[in-house]
Structure 1
Amino acid sequence: MLKAIAIDDESMALEIIKSHASKVPFIDLEAVFSNAIEGLEYQRNHDVDLVFLDINMPDISGIDLASLLPKETMVIFTTAYSDFAVKGFELDAMDYLLKPFPLSRFMKACQKAQEWKELQPNDASDHLFIKTSEGQIRVNFSELLFCEAAGNYVTFQLDNEKLISRMTFGELEQLLPSSFVRTHRSFIVNKNRLDKIERHQVHLGKHIVPVSVTFSGSIL
C-alpha cells in the first residue's frame, strides 16, 4: 500500500484525485491540501510514499516544492500546462499527468509508482531488480562492477554481462547501498570490487573507469 497525499490549489482537481485514488486498491490517499505549505509540513511529519503535486500554485510552484521533498518520496505531477513536462522529469518525477486526466491514465501512473516501490531494496538487501527489454532481471550487488549513465539509460556492468535499463542516475542512487559511489558524473562503481585506484581512473577487473576531480574524494 502506498501512502499518498495530494497538493493542488484547485478544489475540483483535488476531488478528481480523491475519486480516482479511491478506485486504486494499493493507494491510500491520507490527506489533500489546497495550501502547498501545509502539504509540505504534513509530509515532513508523516510517512508519505507518494505526492500528487500540482505545478502552478500561488505560494510556491510544484517544481520548487518537489525539490524540498526527500529523495525517496515519489512525485506525480498534475498540471494543465504541458510545457512543464521536461522540467518535471528533470526532477526524476515518477510521472506527469496532464489535466484533465482519465482514471485509466491515473491508474497507469500509480502502477508505475507501485512497481518502483517494490523494486526498492531494504537495508538488508543484497540485490535489486532492474527492468530491461527482457523483463525484470535480478542483479546481485556482489556481481555488479559499475554503472554507466547515457541519457535516460543506465548500463549495468556485471562480471560476465551487460544489462541496460531505462532510468536516471538519480533513481539508481536511491537503489544502491553505500558501497557504491560516484567517480564521475556518468559512472558509479562498486568500492568492494576495486582492484586499483589511480589519480584519474580506477580498475575493476579488465575495466577502467574514469575519476573526475569532483568525485575523487568519494573512492578513498
Structure 2
Amino acid sequence: MFKAKIVIIEDEFFAATHLKKLVSQHNFWVVGIYHSGEDFLKETDWEFDAAIVDIFLSSKVTGLDLGPKLTEHQKPFVFITANKDKETLKAAARLAPAAYISKPFHEVDVTAALEIIAHKLPETLKIRTANGVEYINPNDIVYVKSDGVYIEIHTPQHHFIQRKLLKEIENELPSLFLRVHRSYLVNSQYVLQFSANHLSLKGHKIPISRSYKDNIERFLNSQ
C-alpha cells in the first residue's frame, strides 16, 4: 500500500514527536524530522511528498523562508502556528500553504490537513524493484531514458529499470514532463540550462532532437 512521505520541520522536540505519532496513524510515512530550517536545507534530498512546517522556527531560516523553496520543488506544505498575529498570517497566506495546524495539536486538525495534502499530491507511479514494489512521486523524477523495451527512471538519489516503453510512461506522467528526444523525457522543473543541442539537468546533459523542438519551445515560453 502506498504511503505518502512526509517531513516535519519543527524546532520543539516534543511537539515534533507528538506530531509524528499523529501523522503515522494515517496513511502517511514520516521520513524525516528537522529541528531547524538550516538542517532541512542542508540535509534534505527532496525525495518526499509533502512537508509540515512550523512558521516560527528558532533559527534564521523560518517557515516563511522555506515556503517558496518547497513550492519551487513542487512540494505541498502545511504551516504549524501558535501565533495569531495578522501580519504573520497574511505573510503565510501569500505562500499558499495547503492548510494550517494550530498548537497545541488536535488529531482532528492534523487529520483534516493530511486529507487536504492527499488531494494535492499527483498520482504515484508503481515501480517494481528487487526489494518489492515502490511508489514514486512523479515530481521526484529528473528524467526517463528509453533503451529498447526498457526504461531507466532517474531521481536525484536513485534510478530504476522497468520493462516498459517510453510512450507508455509518458502517458502516466504529468504535463511538466517534456519529450525532448525519441529516447528521453525530462522533468521541466529540473532544467538548469539549455543550448541548441542539449538540456542541462542536475548533474546530467540530455540531448535535444529537432523533431521535438515544439515541446522545448513550449517549455521556454512558459518560463
User: Which residue in 2 is equivalent to 1:168?
Assistant: none
Residue 92, structure 1, aligned to residue 96, structure 2? yes
For residues 218 and 47 of structure 1, do their structure 2 counterparts lie closer, same or farther at Cα, with a shift above 3 Å needed?
same
Matched, 1:110 2:114: yes
How do 1:100-139 residues align onto structure 2 when only pairs under 5 Å count? Answer: 100-118=104-122, 124-125=170-171
Give the CA deviation at 1:46. 4.1
Q: Percent identity?
A: 19
Distance 1:119 1:12, change over 3 A: same
Describe the SS at the equivalent of 2:121. Answer: helix
Conservation of the 8 A alpha-carbon contact between 1:4 and 1:28: yes
2:221 alignment partner in structure 1: 218
Give the match's secondary structure for 2:97: coil
Contact 1:88 1:96 in 2 (8 A): no
Structure 1 residue 58 and structure 2 residue 62: aligned?
no
Displacement after TM superposition at 1:176 (Å)? 5.2
1:21 maps to a residue whose letter is V
Q: Which residue does the alignment assign to 1:154?
A: none
**Stretches of structure 2 lacking an aligned partner (at least 5 in a row):** 125-136, 139-168, 179-219
The one-letter amino acid of 1:53's match is V
Change (3 A) 1:31 1:50: same
Please, which runs of 5 or more residues in structure 1 have no aligned partner? 128-174, 180-216
1:188-217 superposed Cα distances (whole Å, 9 cap, x missing partner)? xxxxxxxxxxxxxxxxxxxxxxxxxxxxx9
Aligned to 2:22: 20
Q: 1:4 to 1:218 in 2, by over 3 A?
A: same
SS at match of 2:69: coil
**Residue type of the partner of 1:109?**
A
Q: CA–CA distance in 1 between the matches of 2:18 and 2:64?
A: 21
What secondary structure, in the 3-state scheme, does the structure 2 residue paired with 1:29 have? strand
Q: What is the number of residues matched between the two proteins? A: 133
**Offset at residue 40 of structure 1 (A):** 2.0
Contact 1:85/1:96, CA 8 A, preserved across alignment: no
Q: Which residue among 70, 73, 76 is the counterpart of 1:74?
A: 76
Task: Tell me the distance in 2 between the aligned counterparts of 1:10 and 1:126.
Answer: 40
Distance 1:56 1:40 in 2: 16
Map Cα deviations across residues 106-141 of structure 1 (whole Å, 9 max, x no partner): 0111111111114699673599xxxxxxxxxxxxxx
Contact 2:76–2:120 under 8 Å retained in 1: no
CA distance in 1, matches of 2:77, 2:172: 26
Cα distance in 2 between the residues matched to 1:80 and 1:176: 38
Superposed displacement of residue 177, structure 1: 4.6
Letter paired with 1:51: A
Q: What corresponds to 1:42 in structure 2?
A: 43
Cα distance, 1:85–1:71 mapped onto 2, change above 3 Å: farther
CA 1:125–1:92: 2 relative to 1, 3 Å: farther
Specify the code of the residue in structure 1 equivalent to 2:35.
S
Q: Higher helix proportion, which one?
A: 2
Work out whether residues 78 and 97 of structure 1, in 8 Å CA contact, stay in contact via their aligned partners in 2: yes
